[in-house]
Chains A and B, each alone.
Chain A
Amino acid sequence: MARLENKVVLLSGGASGIGAATAQMVVREGGKAVLADRDEAKGQALAAELGASAHFVPLDVVHEESWQAAVAATVEKFGALHGLLNAAGVGVRNSIEDCTLAEYRRVNDINSLGTFLGCKHAIPAMKGSGGGSIVNISSVLGLRGASYAMAYCASKGAVRTLTKNVALHCAQQKYNIRCNSVHPGYIDTPMIAPRLDSNVGNMSGRQALEELHPLGRLGQADEVAHMILFLLSDESTFSTGSEFVCDGGLTA
């Protein structure tokens, strides 16, 4: 049997990178994928390519009404909601000295408020579907600090503990809804493309990032998607409130 047979999964950030790779895998494993993203062109195109088991909805994660509409559209289209992937996010470089308050708020709104709102509005729909699994993408930078990613670290630290709060709430309420966080190392997606192209000393940005990882290379979006798929599926039904690291040994 396919691993996500008849499971309906909503994916924020589903138009690109890790979200797109996961959407493809969800469909391949027998599930329905609703790609939700603010990049409508890319999202529509990928949904069309994936066929009848996929659907696109426009989503801006910082707006509550937008989440309400995306969840409603998912249930209307496929009749249920079993999985939520919160993968929409922005990677921004700034330090404590050069980050403005407006920029701090923007990064935290997208990465952290956006993830909270996804959880908030998925829970009632999952309750109505007999339960579900929420996967929030934090980062290795939700586990360790980096001088050049102050606001990003804060936002991913928030996602890490928010995830545990959601997991315990749903467990206490006996909703049969699990919630876990995934912490990728550097993954070769459009998010880090600017860093790959800029040189660090006499190394290319790509080489410098590759060397950070004990495995000596960047991660691929598919490698993170495999971990997410496990968490979305019934293979992981005893895992909730936990941190799943996929980082080529970076934090070891």
Chain B
Amino acid sequence: MSNELSGRVAVVTGGGSGIGAASAALLAAAGAAVIVADLSEGSKETQVGRFVTHDVASEEAWQSLLADILEREGRLDIMVNNAGISGGPGNPETTTVENWQNVQAINSEGVFLGCKYAIQGMKHLGAGKTQSSGSIVNISSIAGLVGGAGPTAYTASKGAVRLLSKSVALYCAEQKYGIRCNSVHPGGVDTAIFNPLWQAVGRDQGKAFLGARHPIGRMAEPQDLGELVLWLASDRSSFVTGAEFTSDGGITAGLQRRSLLGPS
């Protein structure tokens, strides 16, 4: 299994940290050439593949990223649209239009652009690629499934990603592109996205507090999600498209309060 992705080229947006970094590491370990596209380079120990400075909200950035990859790597097979922000606290009464637009620009428009340019890249033939094919993995959230798992603007942005992934999947299937597209819905994952909480209550206490909200009794580690991303990126999931993959320790399975952070 260790070389199942050899010869494949993968992009991971937001790959400098958290879920993206874990996904990039696992894709690289499976033999893929990985391009980490992030605002700034992560810590040197966690780094894999080739780093490209990239802002997912900028269409020009996507144009130059794609041109650069087709010139250097010559093909594109896997796109992990993972970059995202929480946007900070905000409920339906306190969320400003500016905050809303900021969050949509990265979490929703960023994924839209990521899919659009991924398809262009995946249709490109060359460097041993004779047929268009590929796998797009969009990181939504349980906030794209339930209402109490994040701030208002974030919740809307993740609902958008959930449905746009299905539209992309069906479109690519109809066009016979051989490109699949699925969404991933993590619960609480121990990443930098929780830094504000760690700063407020301490990391150990924060992790215990969030862990207790998951039926499984703990938060996810980034690798838990990386394994799911790897499976969706690989040919092992070749019949899977337009589907939703929840990895949340059971938080959305039952009748318990589905609030991750408690009253907003």
Total chain B interface residues with beta-carbon distance under 8 A: 49
Whether the Cβ atoms of B264 and A169 lie closer than 8 Å is yes
Q: Which of A112, A149, A158 contacts B167 (CB 8 A)?
A: A149
CA distance A162 to B116 in the complex (A): 25
Whether the Cβ atoms of A172 and B263 lie closer than 8 Å is yes
Whether the Cβ atoms of A154 and B93 lie closer than 8 Å is no
Whether the Cβ atoms of B167 and A147 lie closer than 8 Å is yes
A145 within 8 A of B: yes
What are the residues of chain B within 8 A of A172 when measuring CB–CB?
A: 263-264
Whether the Cβ atoms of B167 and A146 lie closer than 8 Å is yes
Q: Which of B91, B143, B158, B166 contacts A144 (CB 8 A)?
A: B166
Whether the Cβ atoms of A159 and B174 lie closer than 8 Å is no
A108 within 8 A of B: yes
Chain B window 141-155, contacts with chain A (Cβ cutoff 8 Å), 1 for yes, 0 for no: 001111110101101
Q: Which of B119, B162, B242, B259 contacts A97 (CB 8 A)?
A: B119
A96 within 8 A of B: yes
A123 within 8 A of B: yes
CA distance A155 to B162 in the complex (A): 10
Chain A residue nearest in CB terms to B115? A96
What are the residues of chain A within 8 A of B170 when measuring CB–CB?
A: 145-147
Chain B residue nearest in CB terms to A104? B112
B209 within 8 A of A: no
What are the residues of chain B within 8 A of A153 when measuring CB–CB?
A: 163-164, 166-167
Asked, given contacts A117-B97, A145-B166, A150-B171, whether A101 binds B160 with beta carbons under 8 Å apart, the answer is: no
CA distance A245 to B112 in the complex (A): 27
B69 within 8 A of A: no
What are the residues of chain A within 8 A of B166 when measuring CB–CB?
A: 144-145, 153
Asked, given contacts A97-B119, A145-B165, whether A169 binds B93 with beta carbons under 8 Å apart, the answer is: yes
What's the least CB distance linking A93 to chain B, in Å?
11
Interface residues on A, range: 35 or more
Whether the Cβ atoms of A101 and B113 lie closer than 8 Å is yes
What's the least CB distance linking A171 to chain B, in Å?
10
What are the residues of chain B within 8 A of A117 when measuring CB–CB?
A: 97
Q: Which of B146, B148, B159 contacts A159 (CB 8 A)?
A: B159
CA distance A124 to B91 in the complex (A): 13
B104 within 8 A of A: yes
Asked, given contacts A101-B59, A153-B164, A154-B163, whether A108 binds B145 with beta carbons under 8 Å apart, the answer is: no
Chain B window 79-97, contacts with chain A (Cβ cutoff 8 Å), 1 for yes, 0 for no: 0000000000001110101
A167 within 8 A of B: yes
What are the residues of chain A within 8 A of B210 when measuring CB–CB?
A: none
Whether the Cβ atoms of B159 and A158 lie closer than 8 Å is yes
What are the residues of chain B within 8 A of A32 when measuring CB–CB?
A: none
Whether the Cβ atoms of B156 and A168 lie closer than 8 Å is no
A206 within 8 A of B: no
Asked, given contacts A142-B163, A153-B164, A159-B159, whether A164 binds B146 with beta carbons under 8 Å apart, the answer is: yes
B109 within 8 A of A: yes
Chain A window 136-152, contacts with chain B (Cβ cutoff 8 Å), 1 for yes, 0 for no: 00000110111111110
A13 within 8 A of B: no
Chain B residue nearest in CB terms to A113? B100
What's the least CB distance linking A36 to chain B, in Å?
18
A64 within 8 A of B: yes
What's the least CB distance linking B31 to chain A, in Å?
28
B26 within 8 A of A: no
Q: A97-B119, A151-B112 are in contact. List 13 more A-B contacts (CB 8 A).
A: A96-B116, A101-B113, A108-B160, A112-B160, A117-B97, A148-B171, A161-B143, A161-B162, A163-B147, A164-B147, A164-B148, A164-B155, A165-B156
Identify the 9 closest CB pairs spanning chains A and B, nearest first.
A164-B147, A145-B166, A157-B163, A161-B159, A147-B171, A154-B160, A154-B164, A158-B156, A147-B170
Interface residues of A (CB under 8 A from B): 64, 95-97, 99, 101, 104-105, 108, 112-113, 116-117, 119-120, 123-124, 141-142, 144-151, 153-170, 172, 241
